[in-house]
Chain A
């Protein structure tokens, strides 16, 4: 389907169903409210057909370019209809599970995920394996008909709402680095899984510390090959940095436009205000332009790779520049005010501080650009 026709049809449908799709709560809402409404929006999109485009027929999708998925998320975020964070997990995990899981497993498990009936989470990081992901130690040992998983994960987002988890485990010798890692699809309600939430500095329980104690995972839940988990993790990366970024860019655009309207309404026409807005806008446009190019490369069947580190750095700068402008131009709102709008500015301002940390820190991205794109040789 032609992306422009698709967008027009989608916009008309969103206009017609605005009342049903708008959040029932004021302001940001609680996490429970957000997740419930997110599920409602996802299901409505799926049942109308819009949410099935861009997914292959093997998982009950309607086919078509992944650009269509980027457009759906963009429109939802521009209208502020659903929180993008849980949605992110679909765009990050589902394409790779479709590529690497056994076809019958993907066909059975992925549809309820992309319909919003259930959520999944991602178990990659560990207390001693953050940026250095290849050093994970959470183990899986062969048992009768499957694997026994024991160890600890951290920063597992939304596990309290999740049905399944894409887990990276050590199946090789302790020193086997990226060669001895395997990916498994684990049911969160399996005996032996326990978690404790971690409260973030913006007052939410976005993620948790998770313990796996002799958790049984059947053979059929292997994603990719035994000891082929690094390839699975690397396959996820480009998805994380294409569709998901485009969605988040749309959210940043909406918040930037909110800021412009608020500054315009205040009557502030100083050069300081104009400059801060102009700089935030140009960071955002640089990101969106780069990300647009990336979406088209992905839709054209090209293999995305390390060059997406540039997209990551650009969206991080766009987010930091935007919320720096928010704090600078809305005098004292972030620090003192307590109305709903101020609380949302404060939450978003504080959350922007995570942008240079999650998904590979800003420093790791620069290391990758230096080594792989500038070919500067090894670091000392």
Chain B
């Protein structure tokens, strides 16, 4: 692993990233601003740690910057740039987004907003149990509308059938499994950033909102919902941070699953504490909540990952001791 970046430098970078994300709501502008701040160098010098601070900032600011393309491309051993995007697995999946059918490759996956401006897309496909990597012209995937529950977000679904002669196979450098792990750890940090923002909003609302002559924060039912959210966030955070020192793919999957569970539960509890205002479009809460739904589905979700993890344990007949003192 590369040298870890000094804590003071990290704090500065984190602040810079958050400010840039807050100022550039458009995904393309945000990508450019982060490249200007040295995001690519950081990812090269300290991939896991760099992704952790950038994605944590993504979560807190709810920015739609397309940094996941860079994390995955970098883990696959490619030189990252704003001209390169990646096709991600279909919702809730960790398997490659494409498979070969005769002379064509059938794609069912997710892409970020960067697909609209990129020249090249990286496409992983599965055939006969092994994963092949290829590049295609990004225009083949362009033009899909950014719809869905979170139109302001970066991700949209893409289905396509690409003729075999449009595909340039490339030599695998990084493996697909390590790319999945890198994406899962980064997304775990994003989900925890989303969760911490939602918890902070709900906490402040509970303190400010008065009913029956007292702050609703004084009611135990509300206190316990917020406390449960914090406990799930801290447990998931510890595992996500642990991934900095341990590249085990199983730990990465656990981090993503725990972070998804923490963020989804926090979203539910925070919305209940916010009550009526949290159901409106006037309050910002719904943006974070919808982004959480979307990010949870990327590279395996809190619903799907426990099944994958359990199957892995069953195939090994035992549970590995992942966390060492």
A residues with CB within 8 A of B = 3, 67, 70-71, 74, 78, 246, 253, 256-257, 260-261, 263-265, 269, 271, 273-279, 281-282, 285-290, 292-293, 295-296, 310, 313-314, 363, 365-367, 369-371, 373-374, 376-380
Interface centre among A296, A371, A379 (most CB of B within 10 A): A379
Contact, CB under 8 Å: B223 / A285: no
Judged by a CB distance under 8 angstroms, whether B239 is at the interface is yes
Interchain CB contact (< 8 A) of B306 among A282, A289, A367: A282
Contact, CB under 8 Å: A286 / B238: yes
Q: Which residue of chain A has its CB nearest to the CB of B229?
A: A374
Q: Which residue of chain A has its CB nearest to the CB of B219?
A: A380
Judged by a CB distance under 8 angstroms, whether B187 is at the interface is no
Interchain CB contact (< 8 A) of B314 among A74, A274, A286, A378: A274
Q: For the complex, what is the distance from the CA of A292 to the CA of B316, rounded to whole Å?
A: 25
Q: For the complex, what is the distance from the CA of A274 to the CA of B304, rounded to whole Å?
A: 10
B residues with CB within 8 A of A = 203, 206-207, 214-215, 217-220, 223-224, 226-228, 230-231, 234-236, 238-239, 241-242, 251, 254, 257-258, 261, 305-311, 313-319, 321-325
Contact, CB under 8 Å: B307 / A278: yes
Q: Which residues of A contact B219 (CB under 8 A)?
A: 379-380
Contact, CB under 8 Å: B257 / A379: no
Q: For the complex, what is the distance from the CA of A290 to the CA of B239, rounded to whole Å?
A: 8
Contact, CB under 8 Å: A374 / B313: no
Q: For the complex, what is the distance from the CA of A269 to the CA of B324, rounded to whole Å?
A: 29
Q: For the complex, what is the distance from the CA of A73 to the CA of B226, rounded to whole Å?
A: 34
Q: For the complex, what is the distance from the CA of A288 to the CA of B153, rounded to whole Å?
A: 34
Contact, CB under 8 Å: A369 / B230: yes
Contact (A289, B308) CB under 8 Å given A70-B325, A253-B321 = no
Contact, CB under 8 Å: A286 / B207: no
Contact, CB under 8 Å: A278 / B325: no
Q: For the complex, what is the distance from the CA of A160 to the CA of B314, rounded to whole Å?
A: 42
Q: Which residues of A contact B224 (CB under 8 A)?
A: 363, 366-367, 370
- Can you list 15 A-B pairs with a CB-CB distance of less than 8 A? A3-B325, A260-B317, A264-B314, A273-B314, A278-B307, A281-B319, A285-B258, A286-B236, A286-B254, A288-B323, A289-B235, A292-B323, A296-B325, A367-B220, A377-B207
Contact, CB under 8 Å: A376 / B238: no
Contact, CB under 8 Å: B319 / A376: no
